[in-house]
Amino acid sequence: MHRDSTLKKVLSWAGLILLLIIFLFPLYWLAATALKDRMQIMAIPPQFSFTPTLQNFKDIFFSSSGSDTNFGFFFRMSIIISTLATFFSVLFGTLAAYSLSRFKVAGKDDLMFFILTTRMLPAIATLVPIFLMYRNLHLSDTVHGMVLLYTMFNLGFTVWMMKSFIDEIPVEYEEAALVDGYSRWEAFLKVVLPQSITGIAASAVFSLIASWNEFVYGSILTTRYARTIPPAMSVRVGSEGYEWGRIAATAFLYVLPVLAFTFLVRKSLLRGLTFGAIKK
Amino acid sequence: MAIIGLRDVVKRYGQTVAVNHVSLEIKDGEFLVLLGPSGCGKTTSLRSIAGLEDVDEGQILIDGVEVNNKRPAERDMAFCFQQYALYPHLTAYNNIAFPLRTQNVPKAEIDRRVHEVCSLLQIEDIFNRKPKKLSAGDQQRVALARAMVRQPKVYLMDEPLSNLDAQLRADMRVELRRIQLQNKVTTIYVTHDQVEAMAMADRIAIMNQGVLQQVGTPEEIYAYPATLFVANFIGSPSMNFLNCKFDKGSFSLAIKSNGETLQFQIPHSIIQNLTHLQDGQDLVLGVRPEDVIISTTPIENGIQVHLVITENLGSENIHHLERNELHLVSRTSPGDIYNEDQQLWVYLEPEGIRLFDKETEKAI
C-alpha cells in the first residue's frame, strides 16, 4: 500500500518534470540562442555550455544599419497598440455584455450569434476589403487604425466571455443596489464591476495575447509608423540572411511581457479558462 | 410610514398571468404577509411594489400617489432578498453602510446609524467580515440591518427566513416581529410557510395562481376561510373535506361513500346562512381536525368510523379515521388514546362546520 503510493508519487513527478522540460525547452533554446554568438549558434553538435554574450540584444536596439532594425520603436508600437486595443475591447465588451445579459434586447440570440461570426472568418479572408477600406480612410499604418482593427476583432471574444461571467452574477445584487437608492449606472460600477474582475482579467489576457501576436493584418496594413514586432521580425528573416541571434533576442524580449502578464493574472486566467466546467 | 395600495394590478410573463387583477391596501405600520404556494405570484407582486418589475395593468400607490413610473430608488423602500444579496466584495459594515453612501450622509452620521442598527440586531462584532465568512443567521441579520439603516417608508421581505434552520428561523421570526412593532414601519412579507404567516402577520393575504384569495387577520383566515383553497392551505393537518349534497327538505347533507349514503343532520347552530341553497346542490363540508370530536359510544348524528392510525406528536394526538372511502382526521389532547381498528363515533362541532359550493369552491 505504502510502496504503491510512493511509486505513484514518483511516477507522477517524473511525468510532470518530463512535460515541463518539453514545454520549457523552446523557451530555453530561444534564450540560449539569444545569448550565443553566430559561431556558437551554428555549431554542430549544439553547444550546451558557452560564454553568454549580450551582443545580440545590443544589436537589435542600437544597430547602425538604419531605422528598420531599431526594435525599440517596434516594441513601443506593440505595447501601445496592444494595450489600447485590449483596453477598448474589454471596456466595450463589458458594457455590451452587461446590456445583453441584463436587458431585454430585441433579437438577442441573433445578435450574439452575429457577434460570434466576426470571429469565424480567418484574418486572411477579410484582409483585402480591410486593406482597401483602410487605404481610402487613411487608416493604413496609423496607431489609431491598428487599435481600431484589433479592438474590433477582439470584441467578439470579450463580449461572449464577459457575458458568461456577468450572467453568473446574481441579478439580486443590482436589484438590492437599485432599491437602496443607486442608479443603474452606479449599481453597475459599484456592484457588478467589482465582481467581474476575474472575467475582466481573463478577457484582458486573451485580448492582449491576440493583439500582441497578431501578424497578418500588421504585416499588410503597416509599413513603418505603426509596425509591431511580429511583422518587423519577419522582415529581418528575409533581408540580411538569417540573423538567428538577433531573431532569438527579439523573440525572447517579445515573449517576456506576455509571460509576465499571464503570470500576474494566472489565477483569474485559470478561472477564465475553466469557467463553467466546475460547479461552484 | 406609508400606506401601500395595489389597484387591479396585472403582470404577465408572455402567456402566463403571474398577477391577476390584484387589489389590496396595506395600512400604515401594518405587517402584511403575502402567503401562497410557490408560483402563486406573491414574489412578483412584491417586486412590482418595489419597482423591480413593471406592471402591465393597474396602479401601485404609495400614500395615494401612483408610483408605476418611478424608479425603485425613488420609492423609498427597503428590500430583503431571499438569498440576502449581500455584496460579496464588501465587509459587513460596508454592506450596511452602502445604502447611506448614495444619500450624501456625513461619515460620522453613517457610522452612528450603522452602529445603532447593529446594536439592535447584536451584530457589532462581525463588522470586518465579508459575507462569505458569516453564518447564515448573521448574513440574515446583516441583510436586515442594511434594510433598516436607511429608515425607509416600507420594508419588503421576500422569504427572508427560508434559508435558516428551524430553530434559528423561529428565533428570527420573533426578533423581526419585535423590531417591526418597535419601528412601526409598514412591512410586506412574502412567505410560503403558513406557520410564519400566522405567527407574524397583522393581516394575511393569500394568493393562488396569481389571484388574491382572501385577506384577513390570521384568526379570520383560519376560522372563516373564503375558499376551499384557503381552507386547505391553512392549518396543519389541513381541514377535513367531505363531498355532499344538500337535502333541503330534511335540512341535512347526504354524504356518499362506497354506494352507501350517510344522512348528516345539519345542526341549527351552524353559523352560515343556508337559506339560499338549492335542493340537491353539490357542497363540500369542511371541518377542522380539532372540531372532529371522538366518542367511544354511539352518539346522535355521529358518524361511525374506525381508527386507522394515531400520530403522537407530544403536545397533541392526530387520529386518522376511516369509513369506507371517507377519511377524517381528528386532533385531540395527548391523553386520548384508542386502539387500532377500534370502532368509534365522531361528532362534528357545529361552530366548526364550513360549507363550500363545490362548483365555485367558495364558502357559502
pLDDT in tens, A172-217: 999 999 998 899 999 999 999 998 888 898 888 889 989 998 999 9
pLDDT band at A251 (very low <50, low <70, confident <90, very high): confident
In contact, B119 and B127? CB cutoff 8 Å: no
**If DSSP codes are grouped into helix, strand and coil, which group holds residue B67?**
coil
Residue A239 pLDDT greater than 70, yes or no? no
Q: Give the three cell numbers for residue A59.
A: 544589436
Residue B189 pLDDT greater than 70, yes or no? yes
Of B89, B99, B103, the CB nearest to A195: B89
pLDDT in tens, A146-183: 999 999 989 999 999 999 989 988 899 999 999 988 99
Nearest Cα of chain A lies from the Cα of B360 at a distance, in angstroms, of 39
Dihedral sign from CA coordinates of A157, A159, A160, A166: positive
> Percent of chain A, pLDDT > 90?
39
Residue B59: its pLDDT value, please?
A: 93
- The distance between the two most distant Cα atoms of chain A, rounded to a whole number of Å, is 74
Buried b (16+ CB within 10 A) or exposed e, B305-342: bebeebeeeeeebbbbbebeebebbbbbeeeeebeeee
pLDDT in tens, B119-139: 888 888 888 999 999 988 889
Residue A275: its pLDDT value, please?
A: 56
Distance CA B77, CA B2 (A): 10
Residue A240 pLDDT greater than 60, yes or no? no
Residue B63 pLDDT greater than 80, yes or no? yes
Q: A181, B52: Cβ pair inside 8 Å?
A: no
Chain B CB within 8 Å of residue A189 CB: no
Residue B267: its pLDDT value, please?
A: 86
The predicted model gives A39-45 an average pLDDT of: 81
Dihedral sign from CA coordinates of B67, B71, B77, B79: positive
pLDDT band at A19 (very low <50, low <70, confident <90, very high): very high
The C-alpha angle B185, B187, B193, rounded to 5 degrees, equals 145
A74 Cβ partners below 8 Å, 6+ apart?
A227, A228, A229, A232
Chain B CB within 8 Å of residue A185 CB: no
Distance CA A127, CA A61 (A): 31
Q: A194, B89: Cβ pair inside 8 Å?
A: yes
Distance CA A277, CA B222 (A): 50
Chain B CB within 8 Å of residue A277 CB: no
- Residue A73 to residues A63, A145, A218, B128, B160, Cα–Cα distance (Å): 13, 17, 15, 49, 61
Q: Give the three cell numbers for residue A135.
A: 487605404
Closest to A215 in 3D by CA, of A230, A198, A197, A235: A230
Residue A279: its pLDDT value, please?
A: 37
Chain B CB within 8 Å of residue A280 CB: no
Residue B262: its pLDDT value, please?
A: 86
Closest to A173 in 3D by CA, of A192, A145, A156: A192
pLDDT band at A63 (very low <50, low <70, confident <90, very high): low
